[in-house]
Structure 1
Amino acid sequence: MKSLTSPIQSAMPSPLFLWRFKVVLFLAWGFICCKVGWDSVMRMDANLQNIFIYEAFLYYNPLLLVTMMVWLWGVNLWIFSQSSVSYAKVFDLDQNHLTHKEIWKCSTWMTIIVPTSMTAYLYLYSHGEVSLAASQPVLLYIFVAIVLIFPFDIFYLSSRFFFLRTMWRIAFPLQPITFPDFFLADIFTSMSKVFSDLERSVCRMVNKQVATIAWLEADSVCGSHSIAIPMVLVLPYLWRLLQCLRQYKDTKERTCLFNALKYSTAFPVIFLSALKYHVFPEKWISLYRPLWLLSSVVNSLYSFYWDITRDWDLSNFSRIFKFNKPSLVSNLFYGRKWLYFWVIGSNFLLRCSWTYKLSAHLRHNYLTVFTITALEMFRRFQWVFFRVENEWNKMTRSGVQLTEIPREEDKLLGADNHQV
């Protein structure tokens, strides 16, 4: 019997070939960016290299960290799609919500655009095109803002609207708090350094200090002495504190007050650290640094305790969500006691190190701070699994009527539903 496949169909490349081709292009692009960026840095004067890399790092580090968080969120959704936990029910999402494949598509474009802009910034500055170099981060920030608030039905409008609406509810908790509200606010506490760097970056752009060393002379405006830095660092914790108070008003549960107290312990860590730039060195060493260390210990231990006993409810080490079918993920994680010891141990260590990043007087060690912030993103990535599963278990135990949720593979949105 003759094959019914048309010559055109047989000539088309297979999906596996296309996927491998995209991976090769992606790696080639990454190599070119690294090579051009490194060569550009080597062209600069040795005395200027470290200062300028620090400035370039400031502009692009927030978006690089956001990109990493989006990649990890895609992994969260992928694993949930293989399990019995219905994250769509937990977050009260409609059928048009983004799946892990669409999240990874977004993160792939972010991974391409942000480093490309950074490479262009370094290349143009090292070749004497200072004004063009200064425009690169400015254009990138404007582009990201436009994509986020674009009012037309492209770039996943419904998901962008859901995200912006949730951000509004977080900033102004005037309505009853939903699970997506405090879940995203918790993630924002792990991104407080991102918000702080965004504020400093925008401040320098507004004051026309990009691609110059003029910002060294205006330290009180956008630098170490700026009061805006601790104010922005504390903002996610303040949002979460107000949410807890609003929940107490609605439910009268005392647990909400203890949760609010947990977030309030971050305030002394942030503001005592910022005092280093506003008091005499002797006063800082003798009085404020010991208080800062004490407040850091209290915040770390309280947060760790709350993660284990409240957010995760790890009263015993036998709970981990089931998977719909045997796979590498299920073989690695389902029912494995070592997973709990790893998560608890790493959560404790990273909770302790996170106070380092909240400390304004330590932020000049930018590579160390970037590493700790990236590790905090990974800690939050782990936290998501147990927090969402715990919420799902509460929903099922409470007798909530749950309709059958189609598998992710059966309801993935086609390309015609979104225009990118």
Structure 2
Amino acid sequence: MSASDVQTVETSPFSSSFPLPYRVLIITTIGLWAWGSNMQILSWVSIDVQALLTGGQKKNSPHRPIYKLALFMSIWVWINLLVYWKTEGSTSITLLCYLFVFLIVLCPFNILCKNERMRFIRCFHRVIFSGLDSDVYFCDKILADIMTSYAKVFGDLYVTMCILFIYNEGPIGDKYYSYVIAPLFTSIPYFIRFKQCIAVYLHSKDPKNTGREHLFNALKYCSAFPVILFSALQKWYKTDEVAISAEYWITPSTIFNLWIIAVAVNSIYSFYWDVAIDWKLSFFTPPGFKLRQHLRFENSIYYIAIILNFLLRFTWSLKLSSHLHIINHLEPSVFLMECLEVTRRWIWIFFKFESEAAEINKDPYIPLHNTSS
């Protein structure tokens, strides 16, 4: 990043008002509110979310503890943000905000929805550390899929840790290998979901037929890697060291064209998979534009969801592109795209749970593994 780019970021009104560390927390808080509303609305249409996620019995108002956590996060983040503004950007305030949130999540005492926090920690531990020989539960798949919607947040977390613990004198630019490590962090959720697909394939009773679906699903998550890679290369080529170089091992225009192709492939592949496989809608089956036999919502809601998913899938692929984030006037747009991806995932969860419940009702022999203990 050139000196002019650094100065542009430093004088960015949006970045000054909503610095990156707080944007990470705000997006996470929005996700909590969205998840709580998912559980509430699904219970309204008689889908047993508790049974699908944990194999346990239906729980009255399972959304209320999530709303409590979301409310706590909302109040805590906004209080700290107000103090941050009053102290003219004190990094210590931001660090204390993160440490307190981290301690609350891990707190072993029976405060602030302990059961939900501990259940999340157990699920997160399985998602991160389970191997190819481990069972992959439905709740683990859902969490990993949600994590892919926060892929940019994973990259931002690395930059945030650099700001809070190492460098607090403005933007880190290309310090601490952020152009390399931040995209690697962005890739983590996709690698986790890829690993889960391979694990499910290895445990499949009929790998040549039904098991092939899991391989194609793994390929879908792999399609995000070229988007991240070619975008990182474009961002790297914007540094002064590369700009003054007379030779390129691959031209910037070629990288740009490859990035466009990667975005198109990832978006179309993911859109098809969402509608045809995850939601189990016959939208692409001749004669086309059909849904399925058993529906819990109005028909028009499904068509609206399909259109929104198509539009937001392309938006999300663009947001994986780190080279766009160094442009000052695009910074608010990038944050908006993160919020839109939370919205897309919020919509996706309704129909994913609906289709999963329909499969279990159709085949009562599908086991519901208890993951609540």
**Cα distance in 2, alignment partners of residues 277 and 356 from structure 1:** 14
Deviations 1:335-390 (A, max 9, x none): x2221211000000000111111001011322111101100100000000000011
Q: Alignment length, in residue pairs?
A: 334
Q: Is residue 66 of structure 2 the alignment partner of residue 109 of structure 1? A: no
AA partner of residue 395 (structure 1) = I
**1: CA distance between counterparts of 2:307 and 2:27?**
23
Work out whether residues 40 and 61 of structure 2, in 8 Å CA contact, stay in contact via their aligned partners in 1.
no
Q: CA 1:121 to 1:222, structure 2 compared with 1: closer, same or farther past 3 Å? A: farther
Cross-structure match for 1:379: 344
8 Å CA contact 1:244, 1:259 repeated in 2: yes
Residue in structure 1 matched with residue 287 of structure 2 by the alignment: none
Partners of 1:85 and 1:52 lie apart in 2 by 41
Q: Match of 2:123?
A: 166
- Corresponding letter in the other structure for 1:154: I
Return the letter of the residue paired with 2:93: Q
Q: Give the aligned partner of residue 178 of structure 1.
A: 137
Question: In the alignment, which residue of structure 1 is the partner of 2:356?
Answer: 391
Q: 1:410 is matched with which residue?
A: none
How far has the Cα of 1:287 moved from its partner?
Answer: 1.2
Structure 2, unpaired ranges of 5+ = 1-7, 283-289, 369-373
Structure 1 pair 146–98 and aligned structure 2 pair: CA distance change class (3 A):
farther
1:230–1:270 contact (8 Å) kept in structure 2: yes
* Contact 2:36–2:66 (Cα < 8 Å) also in 1: yes
Aligned to 2:301: 339
What is the 5 A alignment of 1:57-76?
A: 57-76=19-38
Matches within 5 A, 1:112-131: 112-125=75-88
Q: 1:134 aligns with which of 91, 94, 110?
A: 91
Which structure has the larger Rg?
1
Counterpart for residue 4 of structure 2: none
Q: Are 1:310 and 2:272 an aligned pair?
A: no
Equivalents in 1 of 2:62, 2:251: separation in Å? 50
Going from structure 1 to structure 2, the CA distance change for 1:319 and 1:152 (only over 3 Å counts) comes to farther
Measure how far apart 1:277 and its partner are.
3.5
> What letter matches 2:25 in structure 1?
L
How far is the alpha carbon of 1:157 from its aligned partner?
A: 2.1
Matched with 2:155 is: 196
Offset, 1:134: 1.8
Distance of aligned partners of 1:260 and 1:97 in 2 relative to their CA distance in 1, 3 Å threshold:
farther
Q: Deviations over 1:267-288 (max 9, x none)?
A: 0000111012434567553211
Q: CA deviation at 1:48?
A: 5.7
Cα offset, 1:47, TM superposition: 10
| 1:190-218 per-position Cα deviation (integer Å, ceiling 9, x unaligned) | 01111111211111111141xx32x45x6
Distance in 1 (alpha carbons) for counterparts of 2:353 and 2:14: 42
Q: Give 1:292's aligned amino acid.
A: W
Change (3 A) 1:77 1:204: same
8 A Cα contact 1:83 1:321, kept in partner: no
Give the aligned residue type for 2:315: S
Label 1:222 to 1:150 Cα distance change in 2 as closer, same or farther (>3 A): farther
The answer to whether the Cα contact below 8 Å between 1:88 and 1:94 also exists between their aligned partners in 2 is yes
In structure 1, the gaps of 5 or more residues are 1-45, 323-333, 404-420
CA distance in 1, matches of 2:349, 2:14: 36
Task: Tell me how far 1:317 sits from its aligned partner.
Answer: 2.4
Q: Kindly state the Cα deviation for residue 222 of structure 1 after the two structures are TM-superposed.
A: 6.6
2:103 corresponds to which of 146, 160, 170: 146
Pair 52,68 (structure 1): closer, same or farther in 2 beyond 3 Å: closer
Distance 1:93-1:145 versus aligned 2 partners, 3 A rule:
farther
CA displacement at 1:294 relative to structure 2: 0.4
Q: Which residue of 2 aligns with 1:296?
A: 263
Query: For the structure 1 residues 153 and 321, does the alpha-carbon distance in structure 2 shift closer, same or farther, using more than 3 Å as the test?
Result: farther
CA distance in structure 2 between the partners assigned to 1:106 and 1:122 by the alignment: 24
Which residue of structure 1 aligns with residue 224 of structure 2? 266
Identify which of structures 1 and 2 has the higher relative contact order when contacts are C-alpha pairs closer than 8 Å and 6+ apart.
Answer: 2
The letter for the 2-side match of 1:107 is A
Question: Per-residue displacement from partner, 1:72-128 (whole Å, max 9, x unpaired)?
Answer: 111111111212211111112546797222221221121111011111111111xxx
The 2-side partners of 1:93 and 1:70 are apart by 22
* CA 1:84–1:98: 2 relative to 1, 3 Å: closer
Deviation at 1:318, TM superposition (A): 5.0
Residue type of the alignment partner of 1:198: L
Q: Deviations over 1:16-49 (max 9, x none)?
A: xxxxxxxxxxxxxxxxxxxxxxxxxxxxxx9964
**Corresponding residue for 1:242?**
195
Write the mapping of 1:31-42 to structure 2, written as runs, cut at 5 A: none
Q: Which moved more, 1:379-388 or 1:337-346?
A: 337-346
- Find the counterpart in structure 2 of residue 231 from structure 1: 184
Task: Report the AA paired with residue 172 of structure 1.
Answer: F
- Contact 2:68/2:112, CA 8 A, preserved across alignment: no
* Counterpart-to-counterpart distance in 2, 1:321 and 1:78: 18
Q: In 1, Cα distance between the equivalents of 2:69 and 2:336?
A: 23
- Going from structure 1 to structure 2, the CA distance change for 1:144 and 1:319 (only over 3 Å counts) comes to farther
